[in-house]
Amino acid sequence: MQIREEINQLIQELSSDDKEVAADACDSVQLLLQATNTSSEDPHLMQDYFRQMLPDQYHGIALSDAEVDEITKSLLRQLDGPPQVVSRVAGGLRYSARPHAVARIAQALRRYMGRDGHTSRQLMFALDELISVLIATGHQRRLTAEEDAYIADACAVLREAAEKAVDEKTKLTAAEQLEVMAGRVNSIGRSC
């Protein structure tokens, strides 16, 4: 499937040298992903809520799988940026519903856990959301070895963050995330 012109433009803006352009693009991407991939008791209500918050040029757009994949790839490339960029990108990745992003998010979390508490916490939230997608999948079918490895890596990096985080708030967040994740992981017959 072809990527729409306005989505291609948004992907280009994500890597703009103009920080304001990149920040606006990241906000739009996050809202588009939330509108596309949000789950709740009434997903249509939630999706409508996020769509209303979108800039006018994105109203009426529902992302295709190919577009979500391209946006996710672009966001993953941004994980090598400075903390303020990584923090924003984590928000978008959180709603990508692409478990393969777990490995890169875990890698970024390892890099930031001893340096930047805010960025570390944003990466933890993204990791938690993606592992939730895997857990839901694990309730429906047997997970692949690769998916099991994502879960193991997420558990390991949260354990590390609980020990090595730069501040108490981040350590506490990591410990809480690990406890919640362990319960979810146990629900599909795995251990964390």
What is the mean pLDDT of the segment spanning 27-38?
79
Same domain, 14 and 71: yes
Mean pLDDT of 21-42: 76
Domain final residue pick, 97, 113, 135: 97
Report the pLDDT value the prediction gives residue 33, as an integer from 0 to 100: 85
Say whether pLDDT at 51 is over 80: no
Comparing 66 with 34, which gets the higher pLDDT? Answer: 66
Last residue of a domain, one of 76, 97, 118: 97
Q: How far apart are the first and last CA of the chain?
A: 38
Q: Which domain holds residue 67?
A: 1-97
Of 97, 125, 160, the one marking the end of a domain is 97
pLDDT in tens, 68-84: 999 999 999 999 888 88
- pTM here? 0.84
